[in-house]
Chain A
Amino acid sequence: AQTVTQSQPEMSVQEAETVTLSCTYDTSENNYYLFWYKQPPSRQMILVIRQEAYKQQNATENRFSVNFQKAAKSFSLKISDSQLGDTAMYFCAFVSYGGATNKLIFGTGTLLAVQP
């Protein structure tokens, strides 16, 4: 079975500082994507960043970057220069395109609070 694990239920960071959110996953597939989604109080999930498993280079999107360790099945999110608007629930997600279905599998989330 494919699983996604986020071991940090809550995190806190000071404005302008850097924070790293952890995510591990388990799969026997070789062809997959990994994502980080942000869910603010409005409930709407917003895609933050994605990583194709076949790419060795870590994805970056402005202040957001990932550390993708394929052998260790680890996919952490680093947020640099944290802003108050980054306060939200963050979900790590996985989808395999080698399986029978293409549904995203989500972790349980990390609630990030950015303190002024």
Chain B
Amino acid sequence: GAGVSQSPSNKVTEKGKDVELRCDPISGHTALYWYRQSLGQGLEFLIYFQGNSAPDKSGLPSDRFSAERTGGSVSTLTIQRTQQEDSAVYLCASSWTVRNEKLFFGSGTQLSVL
């Protein structure tokens, strides 16, 4: 596609439910990143992929968070048993390679946990 696409744009869920957030990177981009942006905070790194592998998962806040990427393209971030503190904007970005410093960002998913 023309840009990084994220869905859904907004998600409201109840505490304890599982959610899946989707990221469709720019075609041909091998590197894909997930960030979390909480109200009044900067961007917090979660995980990045090179192809289908995730060399750095150090930013995932707990074992309730997981991510996968299939076919070197679409990635899904899954949050199990959501908590209110998970409420944030989840941003995805992609680049040609991990050593290409120009990241292209999607518009994010606003997650609200009630």
Contacts and interface: CB of A to CB of B under 8 A. Distances in A.
To the question of whether A and B form a pair in one complex, the answer is: yes
Interface of A: 4, 6, 33, 35, 42-47, 50, 91, 93, 95, 97, 100-109
Contact of B42 (A33, A44, A109): A109
A106 B105 contact: no
9 contacts: A33-B101, A43-B107, A45-B93, A45-B103, A47-B102, A47-B103, A50-B102, A100-B56, A102-B48
Interface in B44-95: 45, 48, 55-56, 58-59, 89, 91, 93
Nearest to A33: B101
Interface residues of B, number: 26
Given A43-B91, A43-B108, A45-B93, A104 B103 contact: yes
Contacts of A47: 102-103
Contacts, number: 55
Nearest to B59: A103
